[in-house]
Amino acid sequence: MKSLDQLYDELQSANADSLGYPAAKDFDYAEIERFLNFPINNIGDPFAQGTYRVHTRECEREVVAFFAEATRAPQDDWWGYVTNGGTEGNLYGLYLARELHPDGIVYYSEATHYSVSKNLHFLGMRHIMIRAQENGEIDYDDLLETLKIHRDRPPIIFANIGTTMTEARDDIGRIVEMMDRLAIRERYIHSDAALVGGYAAYLDPRPAWDFADGADSVAISGHKFLGAPIPCGIVIARKHNVQRIARSIDYIGSLDTTITGSRSGFSPLMLWYRLQQLGEAGLRERLGRSLANAGYLVERLTAIGIPAWRNPNAITVVIPRADAAIQQRWQLATAGDISHVLVLPNVSREQIDTFVADVAKSRTEDACKA
């Protein structure tokens, strides 16, 4: 094993160049480092009392309340907790849906995050994959035709609010309308807003993604748009649904409503601190900067002949599959014939210029070799 100093230097340099994954880096948690001195554990339900007093449930409740407001959750009918990330939030939403509709069928598009099919496998839920459009959004015609065939089973819609590769947003309003027209009353909608949930509430126009639009649960990652050194997330659901599956456990003196037993108490503190520092104004400012810079990146790439594009109001810029050296240096996630760049708030114009110059250079080199 290398020395800690070597490891630190490696991480520092890798971190400086990474542009391809949705992890914001503009954070500073030095002020809360001292809390690492305690075995903090938020075991059990964040809204219940427990016997273990080394916890940060108060922070956790405030974090959940912040996102309950951002997702327009119904007054007095929401519940949630801080998860280990978007994947756990999605697992929770699907678990809840299964308990409420044991004979339901999950519909999700082919652009859905890879972790979801594993979740469906864990839960043993019947599922049908729906085609995606070119931009990554669900194919509404395919969804409609498929729903029509299975009208005897409650649909559980797994909506992508920002697909991983192209940040496409399925329109929950449109899906609700579709189910209304088919007179499908028994149904469930989960909103996977891993990245976009950090700012969807501040977009104009606002995407149809939240509780007021028809979602029954929403999962958001904390380490993506907000930024954190430890993966974390938030899940929110309608409280009356959660109450139907809650169980009281003597051993911890609390309710076993969460997926894992022991839960990080540091992550809720981190998210709470981050929200205190930024506030809604800070989130809006970071979003504005990211959107402007994403537009700038598309412009610059287009100017050198690269057909870059992005979905409306997206901070994800899609480019044709980057060559191996570019993928490696900038750590670009690549799937099939596309790669993407995540223009998070930490990405500066200067870094964009360096990246574009690097892409231009690699194209010239390729042309010379050919």
Ligand X SMILES: *Cc1c(COP(=O)(O)O)cnc(C)c1O
Could you give the angle at which helices 266-303 and 57-70 cross, rounded to 10 degrees?
A: 40
Is 119 or 293 the residue whose CB approaches ligand X more closely?
119
Site for ligand X in 100-119 (CB under 6 A): 113, 115
Shortest distance (Å) from residue 83 CB to ligand X:
8
Instruction: Look up residue 250 and give its two tokens.
Output: 């003597």
Of the pair 91, 255, the CB lying nearest ligand X is at 91
Residue of 91, 157, 195, 275 that binds ligand X (CB under 6 A): 195
List phi, psi (to 5°) of 78. -130, 160
Task: Classify the C-alpha dihedral 144-148-149-152 as positive or negative.
Answer: positive
d(CA 165, CA 21): 10
Structure tokens at 6: 């070597």
**297 is a site residue for ligand X (CB under 6 A):** no
Q: Which residue is nearest to ligand X (CB)?
A: 86
| Structural Rg of the chain based on CA atoms | 21
What angle separates helix 140-149 from helix 172-181, to the nearest 10 degrees? 30
Q: Which is nearer to ligand X, 91 or 178 (CB)?
A: 91
Is residue 86 close enough to count as binding ligand X by CB under 6 A?
A: yes
Map tokens 């030095």 to a residue.
30
Tell me which of 233, 265, 268, 345 binds ligand X, using CB under 6 A. 233
**Cβ 270 to ligand X shortest distance, Å:** 14
Tell me: does residue 164 bind ligand X (CB under 6 A): yes
- Under the binding rule (CB under 6 A), the answer on residue 192 touching ligand X is yes
Contact between 334 and ligand X by CB under 6 A: the answer reads no
345 binds ligand X (CB under 6 A): no
Q: Residue 135: is it exposed, middle or buried by C-beta count within 10 angstroms (0-12/13-18/19+)?
A: middle
Residues within the interface to ligand X (CB under 6 A) = 85-87, 90, 113, 115, 160, 162-164, 192, 194-195, 221, 231, 233
